[in-house]
Amino acid sequence: MNESLSILGLIGHASIPVKLVILLLISASIYSWTLIAKYRSVHSSAQQALKVFEESFWSGADLGALYQQSQQNPDRQGAEALFYAGFKEFMRLRQKGLAPDSIMQGVTRAMRITLMQEQTRLEGKLPALASIASSSPYIGLFGTVWGIMTSFIGLAKVQHATLATVAPGIAEALIATAIGLFAAIPAVLAYNHFIANSDTLNNRYTMFADELSGILHRESHN
């Protein structure tokens, strides 16, 4: 293949606006892959932590002992973070001698705040993936339209236009669309996967919080 007709050669001969579009799309693709790697690790860690803590919680362990273990774990997350926040508030309000209903209101509020924090941890920057997925094809299309427009303006100055004259300009313009799709497709697939996984984890956290509320409600009446 002629060097000038290679992908790098076509990019090198593209107009400045098309080069800027390609640079923007490559940067967006790198950023999206960085987010994909980050949230893959976050979600994997959350699933493992949930499995380990639920096994410990439902094994019949004493809640006080479990709370002391959670105190010593600075990296608590998910169900363990919910348990720690709820049980800590339960003990604090119970020592004040408040009524059971007031205690449970405080416990529910503490767990709701923690649940929102966990959801943010699981989904914090995922909207950026959605933005990359939705905007990259259009940015690439803009580069393509600009490149084709520039090519036709150049052809107007040539008396005899041939396929060899037209092809390089069209090819370099279409590269922008190709890179836009390259950036968008992994981003949209990853976003859908992480959102679905986050919904599953948040549902399990909510179920755990409801179960813990029931247990603490019974404890508050003893």
Q: pTM to 2 decimals?
A: 0.83
Q: How many CA atoms lie within 13 A of 150 on its CB side?
A: 19
How far apart CA 162 and CA 101 sit, in angstroms, is 84
H-state helical runs in the chain: 7-13, 16-57, 63-71, 79-95, 100-123, 126-155, 163-220
- Domain with 136, as residue range(s), is 3-220
Asked if the model's pLDDT at residue 167 lies above 80, the reply is: no
How far apart CA 178 and CA 144 sit, in angstroms, is 9
Asked if the model's pLDDT at residue 148 lies above 90, the reply is: no
Q: What domain count does the chain have? A: 1
Q: Per residue in 163-193, is it b (16+ CB within 10 Å) or e — as a string?
A: eeebebbebbbbbbbebbeebbebbbebbee
Asked if the model's pLDDT at residue 177 lies above 80, the reply is: yes
- Poorest-confidence range of 1-15, 71-85, 92-106, 136-150? 1-15
Closest to 49 in 3D by CA, of 122, 127, 123, 126 = 122
Q: How confident is the model at residue 165 (pLDDT cuts 50, 70, 90)?
A: low
Give the model's pLDDT for residue 107: 93
Q: How confident is the model at residue 44 (pLDDT cuts 50, 70, 90)?
A: very high
Question: Residue 72: CB partners within 8 Å, gap ≥ 6?
Answer: none
Secondary structure letter of residue 5 according to DSSP? G
Q: What confidence tens digit (pLDDT) does each residue in 51-103 have?
A: 999 998 888 778 888 999 998 888 899 999 999 999 999 999 988 888 888 98
